[in-house]
Amino acid sequence: MEIRLGDVAPNFKATTTEGEIDFYDWLGDSWGVFYSHPADFTPVCTTELGRTAKLKDEFDKRNTKVIAISVDPLEKHKEWIKDINETQNTTVNFPIIADPSKEIANLYGMIHPNASDTLTVRSVFVIGPDKKVKLTLTYPASTGRNFQEILRVLDSLQLTANYSVATPVDWKDGDDCIIVNSIPTEDVPAKFPKGHKIIKPYLRTTPQPNK
């Protein structure tokens, strides 16, 4: 199944390291980061899960819940968490879905036959409170994810969902934003009281509206 930007994220029920969940109920009114791991007891995944645990305060600030999945069974997850906590000097503080039937992984298109027909690739889905998919990323199994980029994207998605702006190349929280082209130039001063700059008629910038 191919999930595209703007699609409603499929709901599912799952067994996790923090108990049984209904995905929509668990997500509630929060943003969500749902990401997959090729397998338990693998080195890159171990560092990623440890990093996620250490970033809990950053995700909390963004009203974002994180949930991971691999196709290994629950008891294997629980044993692996001990290794993650030990080697990454942290405590895993988010649920990991056990998906030995691969039902959820297939629902989200996380199985990549060109890589393996049994393991997941490193997929990332950012899901909004409206349960729609706002971002998808897919990494090969050999490449760990950049969680600072995931946080940066969350900042951009949440900003642009509430203000008539887009974020330019390499933008980070606090930088100037681009005024979307649907706003007529004559309406810009009233809508963006912090000021604006017209570089080209189609390229107008303004200080970040919520800072």
User: The domain that contains 167 carries what CATH number?
Assistant: 3.30.1020.10
pLDDT in tens, 109-158: 888 665 555 566 689 999 999 999 999 998 887 889 999 999 999 999 99
The reply to whether 110 and 194 lie within a common domain is: no
- Both tokens of 201, joined, read 């008629």
The reply to whether 135 and 170 lie within a common domain is: no
- DSSP states along 39-73: -SS-HHHHHHHHHHHHTHHHHHHTTEEEEEEESS-
Q: What is the domain extent for residue 198?
A: 163-206
Mean pLDDT over each residue of the chain, to the nearest integer: 94
Residue ending a domain, among 116, 145, 174, is 145
The reply to whether 54 and 129 lie within a common domain is: yes
pTM of the model: 0.93
Considering its fold, how many domains does the chain have in total?
A: 2
- At residue 16, the pLDDT reads 98
Helices (H), 62-110: 74-88, 103-107
Q: What is the rounded CA–CA span in Å between residue 69 and residue 85?
A: 17
> Would you name the residues annotated as active-site residues?
45
In a domain, 66, yes or no: yes
In a domain, 6, yes or no: no
pLDDT in tens, 41-73: 999 999 999 999 999 999 999 999 999 999 899
Give the helix, strand, coil percentages of the chain, each rounded to 5: 30, 25, 45
User: Which of 23-27, 79-83, 113-117, 197-201 is the least confident region?
Assistant: 113-117
- Both tokens of 20, joined, read 């049984």
Q: What is the rounded CA–CA span in Å between residue 194 and residue 169?
A: 21
pLDDT band at 173 (very low <50, low <70, confident <90, very high): very high
